[in-house]
Amino acid sequence: MGDNTRATDLLIESVLQERRQFPPPKAFQAQARIASLEQYHQLCQEFAQDPQGFWGKWAAQELHWFRPWTQVLDWQPPQARWFVGGQTNLAYNCLDRHLHTHRRTKPAIIWQGEPGEVRVLTYEQLHQEVCRMANALRALGVQAGDRVGIYLPMIPEAAMAMLACARIGAVHTVVFGGFSATALQERLRAAQAKVVITADGGWRKGEVVPLKPQVDQALAAGQVPTVTQVLVVQRVGGHTPMTPGRDVWWHELQPTLSAECPALPLDSEQMLFILYTSGTTGKPKGIVHTTAGYNLYTHLTAQWVFDLREEDVYWCTADVGWITGHSYVVYGPLSNGATTVMYEGAPHAGNPGCFWDVIQAHRVTIFYTAPTAIRTFIKMGEEHPRARDLSSLRLLGTVGEPINPEAWLWYHRVIGGERCPIVDTWWQTETGGIMIAPLPGATPTKPGSATLPLPGIQVQVVDRQGEPVGVNQGGYLVVTHPWPGMMRTVYQDPERFRRTYWEQIPPRDGQYFYFTGDGARRDEDGYVWIMGRVDDVINVAGHRLGTMEIESALVSHPAVAEAAVVGRPDEIKGEAVVAFVILEGHYQPSEALKQELREHVVREIGALARPSEVKFTESLPKTRSGKIMRRLLRALAAGEAPSGDISTLEDQSVLERLRD
């Protein structure tokens, strides 16, 4: 854990000035699934009285089982097994079971490409395509337990590929299309992927972003020897070199494949996916989720937090490359039989009103996006949403980073027309689904707070020893009871799993604390206010990045002797990347070199990690034991005077020089 006082402290200050509460709007509440705080408390009560009975009841009621479980939870901290002995299939729960109902002809996915084309897939059509894709994977040699890399733009095939894996028990590992060939290679190698599903390219801000060449580069010269085949979706057209014997076009294979592929009954704890995310070290961690618990948790939380109803058109703007895309573009909504919108473009893809066009065109009722996007919209001007008909909206959500009250209030007023509740949802790749959020028909909201933990979730704010801190005092956010959507391990690194999440706060008397890595406080009403990461993770435009990953990327450049990366508060992105760099002796600081280093990071990781600023320095502030004092660098990057204890700083003059 670092010594951080975070960029988000600034946010807390502005939060404190906004004290209004927003009760659930009457019209919304009248029709909500969970329509009062009493009902919420009753659910919490049910859980407290019988935690296993609580989850067992929901699992039996909400999912299809090929074989019932014999035990709801086997908890050998930190190892959890949920619905032990049961068999289910996530793709079956997302598709097949809806086919016997009126949902057969209901749109499952409404997709809009960035250039404007629209594809609607009913549950029946999606089922067929997923079966074909599953048969394709089988034809390419994929068996249950094999890992499949998915590197696709936001097109329906991304959801199909995930569901196809889930259907046959293969493990997907989706890599965000914005990651570079190097980052892709690292993830494919770590997961020992057998097959990669990609596309020739995708559209981004009016331009074609090539993807297949990145895959070629990642796999060049046998760098990822486990990969034997690449399935390529044609998205953009034009010439794409194919490697004979390895690469196969999806559109050539697809017509030859059967549209039937029975969903395999899978063990509850069958590994479902690995998703790489950033942590404290230079190497991303493979977060492992398994079948039944993840299915139940994303299903229930989607239903509760978004108050999903049959007629909803639900749009989550996340990319499937992130956990939000997994849980709340694909699995949660489809398991509930909802209509999920997929959009290929960015908030400012060509036209500043493009998001509002999507809402207007498809009569979207629920809209879920990131605070960064909202701040971008504010900057683009409210005339754009004002010029569209947004009256279909009934609920708004945010995710991924703290939302500043100004942005919350704008969202409420301009997008929500003051009639839509806002759900600020706190969770992580590791938690699988939403953990802390309002229930829109029940929980009064306070702008900037994710409010209360969901039923079945118990959190505390504690000090280093696990002692709860007082009301409104800052501390570490921990979860004190296992939940079905929790990560099961770090792929092939159970030690890292134990160390990172279960030993940061020492267990005592059999009580284990899941360490979230976030600082928080709880107010007099028990509302949780997230204060941001307390480790070396930064949050840039809602994207989670490890400072050490960026540092590793920088030092892999021949000009760089040493680098330290910190986040600086940024009006739009939340945080921006600032890199302090010590050059190798024979390199001279220059603007061109700064630019070169920024582009080097893009090549190594992706554009999302591009430093906003590179500062050359001759030394870095370090403790006597050689640890970089990031707290001081953060203050400098933010243009503030470093405060707090500097007595451990080895060379006091470093600060002076850095400030100059």
Residues of this chain that interact with ligand PRX (CB under 6 A) are: 277, 323-324, 399-402, 424-429, 450, 516-518, 530, 532-533, 539, 544
Smaller CB separation from ligand PRX, 95 or 576: 576
What residue type is 617 in one-letter code? T
Q: How, if at all, do strands 229-233 and 247-249 pair?
A: parallel
Measured on CA atoms in the order 307, 308, 309, 315, is the torsion positive or negative? positive
Smaller CB separation from ligand PRX, 218 or 530: 530
**Cβ proximity of 202 and 154 under 8 Å:** yes
Smaller CB separation from ligand PRX, 226 or 428: 428
- Closest approach of ligand PRX to the CB of residue 324, in Å: 5
Smaller CB separation from ligand PRX, 345 or 567: 567
Structure tokens at 179: 């990651």
Smaller CB separation from ligand PRX, 347 or 642: 347
**Cβ proximity of 429 and 277 under 8 Å:** yes
CA–CA dist 392, 364 (Å, integer): 6
Smaller CB separation from ligand PRX, 7 or 152: 7
C-alpha distances in Å from residue 387, one per residue of 174, 377, 443: 36, 13, 31
DSSP summary character for residue 511: B
- Closest approach of ligand PRX to the CB of residue 626, in Å: 27
C-alpha distances in Å from residue 536, one per residue of 183, 279, 572, 597: 19, 7, 21, 21
User: Residue 513: which residues within 8 A CB-CB, separation 6 or more?
Assistant: 460, 462, 466, 478, 479, 480, 502, 504, 505, 507
Smaller CB separation from ligand PRX, 315 or 427: 427
Of 85, 183, 92, which is closest to residue 134 (Cα–Cα)? 92
Smaller CB separation from ligand PRX, 228 or 480: 480
CA–CA dist 645, 610 (Å, integer): 31
Smaller CB separation from ligand PRX, 268 or 516: 516
Smaller CB separation from ligand PRX, 261 or 373: 373
- Closest approach of ligand PRX to the CB of residue 318, in Å: 8
Smaller CB separation from ligand PRX, 56 or 485: 485
Smaller CB separation from ligand PRX, 399 or 658: 399
- Closest approach of ligand PRX to the CB of residue 475, in Å: 15
- Closest approach of ligand PRX to the CB of residue 11, in Å: 9
Smaller CB separation from ligand PRX, 531 or 614: 531
Of 218, 215, 250, which is closest to residue 235 (Cα–Cα)? 250
- Closest approach of ligand PRX to the CB of residue 278, in Å: 8
Residues in the chain, overall count = 660
- Order of all β-strands in the sheet with 475-479: 459-462, 475-479, 514-522, 528-533
Concatenating the DSSP letter of every residue in 11-51 gives HHHHHHH----BPPPHHHHHH-SS-SHHHHHHHHHHHHH-H
- The dihedrals phi and psi of 80, each to the nearest 5 degrees, come to -115, 140
Cα radius of gyration rounded to whole Å, the chain: 24
User: Residue 231: which residues within 8 A CB-CB, separation 6 or more?
Assistant: 136, 137, 140, 195, 196, 197, 198, 248, 250, 253
CA–CA dist 72, 60 (Å, integer): 11
Smaller CB separation from ligand PRX, 212 or 544: 544
Smaller CB separation from ligand PRX, 89 or 277: 277
Secondary structure of 384-417 in HEC code, one letter for each residue: HHHCCCCCCCCEEEEECCCCCHHHHHHHHHHHCC
**26 burial type by CB count under 10 A (0-12 exposed, 13-18 middle, 19+ buried):** exposed
- Closest approach of ligand PRX to the CB of residue 477, in Å: 8
Of 562, 72, 377, which is closest to residue 396 (Cα–Cα)? 377
Smaller CB separation from ligand PRX, 217 or 428: 428
Smaller CB separation from ligand PRX, 312 or 424: 424
Concatenating the DSSP letter of every residue in 221-285 gives GGSSTT--EEEEE-SS-S-----TTTEEEHHHHGGGS-S--PPPPEETT-EEEEEEE--SSSS-E
- Closest approach of ligand PRX to the CB of residue 32, in Å: 21
Of 603, 553, 466, 79, which is closest to residue 290 (Cα–Cα)? 79
**515 burial type by CB count under 10 A (0-12 exposed, 13-18 middle, 19+ buried):** buried
Structure tokens at 654: 């470093």
CA–CA dist 536, 569 (Å, integer): 15
CA–CA dist 193, 146 (Å, integer): 7
CA–CA dist 532, 7 (Å, integer): 8
Q: What is the dihedral of CA 132, 135, 137, 138, to 10 degrees?
A: 180
- Closest approach of ligand PRX to the CB of residue 329, in Å: 12
